[in-house]
Amino acid sequence: MKGKNVQYATELLEAEKSRQGIIPLTEMDNSLTVEDAYQIQLETVKLKIAQGKVIVGKKIGLTSVAMQKMLNVDEPDYGHLFDDMQIENGAIVKVDSMISPKVEAEIGFVLKEDLVGPNITYIDVLMATKYVVPTLEIIDSRVKDWKIKLVDTVADNGSSAKVVVGSKTTTIDLVNLRTISMVLFKNGELQATGAGAAALGHPAYAIAWLANKLAEFGITLKKDELILPGALSAAISVSAGDTIEAKFGALGSVTVHFE
């Protein structure tokens, strides 16, 4: 089983490198479980670390009711964020560095203390939060045409690709994290709106879920890590020439250009 996991992990990383999507793992092997999928993801993480990449955070996916319905699941998933995925606010990203990118806006949390599950509450998360920051997550699937089931996206590191981090940081006493507004623009045109509660009711509640889920794998959310608690609206597709901006009210805004 372990050999097979390494093989699938290698195929996913190859797809990322060559920008050629693969057929879904669930079509290659319909016996794969979500448990297997997380083990495959952990193999991709090991391979990336062996290449010198450094984990800088985690992301939570499938936190909206709409996404969970689409994939017919009732819980979120997660992936790892690496140093080479970080993009500066306002930077330019090449569309052809990815396969079929989409963008979604999230409230990034940076921790000042480790969070070790199980039994982490969302109060623990808020008490361990150094600040929140506006982010754009660029997602991409290494599975051809985004034909993913839960197992496919979990194995593929939660379909994560890049993360753009805003310049302004805000402590949580200055923002209502459930009602904070998010407005997503493409080339100045409004594409989607949402508020903090779109992430499982409260973004810190999504992070508590993650801390407790990771405890099953002996993984801890670490001090100074960036945690993305889930999209506040549906993801939007992008092409070369697009400028994407998310405005988060009191949290400020974050922008990325595609070429």
- Tell me if 257 contacts another protein by CB under 8 A: no
The least CB distance from residue 128 to another protein, in Å, is 8
Closest CB to another protein among residues 196, 229? 196
Report 34-93 residues binding another protein (CB under 8 A): none
- Tell me if 130 contacts another protein by CB under 8 A: no
Residue of 162, 192, 234, 245 lying closest to 253 (CA atoms): 245
Q: Tell me how far apart the alpha carbons of residues 203 and 120 are, in angstroms, rounded to a whole number.
A: 14
Report 159-178 residues binding another protein (CB under 8 A): 172-173, 176-178
The least CB distance from residue 75 to another protein, in Å, is 14
Using the rule CB under 8 A, give the single segment among 6-14, 29-37, 193-201, 244-252 that binds another protein. Answer: 193-201
Residue type for 156, please?
D
Closest CB to another protein among residues 121, 239? 121
Query: In this structure, are strands 129-139 and 102-111 parallel, antiparallel, or unpaired?
Result: antiparallel
Residue of 136, 18, 150 lying closest to 85 (CA atoms): 136
Among 126, 184, 207, 254, contact with another protein (rule: CB under 8 A): 126
Tokens of 128: 């361990």
Among 6, 42, 110, 197, contact with another protein (rule: CB under 8 A): 197
The least CB distance from residue 51 to another protein, in Å, is 37
Q: Tell me how far apart the alpha carbons of residues 150 and 45 are, in angstroms, rounded to a whole number.
A: 18
> Dihedrals φ, ψ of 153, to 5°?
-75, -35
Backbone CA torsion sign across 192, 195, 201, 205: positive
Among 54, 91, 92, 123, contact with another protein (rule: CB under 8 A): 123
Residue 126 to residues 110, 135, 167: CA-CA distances in angstroms? Answer: 10, 18, 21
Backbone CA torsion sign across 188, 192, 197, 200: negative
- Tell me if 207 contacts another protein by CB under 8 A: no
Among 30, 33, 179, 187, contact with another protein (rule: CB under 8 A): 179
Alpha-carbon torsion angle 199, 203, 123, 153, nearest 10? 70
Count interface residues toward another protein (CB under 8 A): 20
Tokens of 125: 């998360």
Backbone CA torsion sign across 133, 136, 142, 145: positive
Using the rule CB under 8 A, give the single segment among 17-25, 98-106, 196-204, 234-242 that binds another protein. Answer: 196-204
Closest CB to another protein among residues 151, 198? 198
Closest CB to another protein among residues 73, 197? 197
Contact 233, 184 (CB under 8 A): yes
- Tell me if 124 contacts another protein by CB under 8 A: yes
Closest CB to another protein among residues 71, 197? 197
List interacting residues with another protein (CB under 8 A). Answer: 119, 121-124, 126-128, 172-173, 176-179, 196-197, 200-202, 205
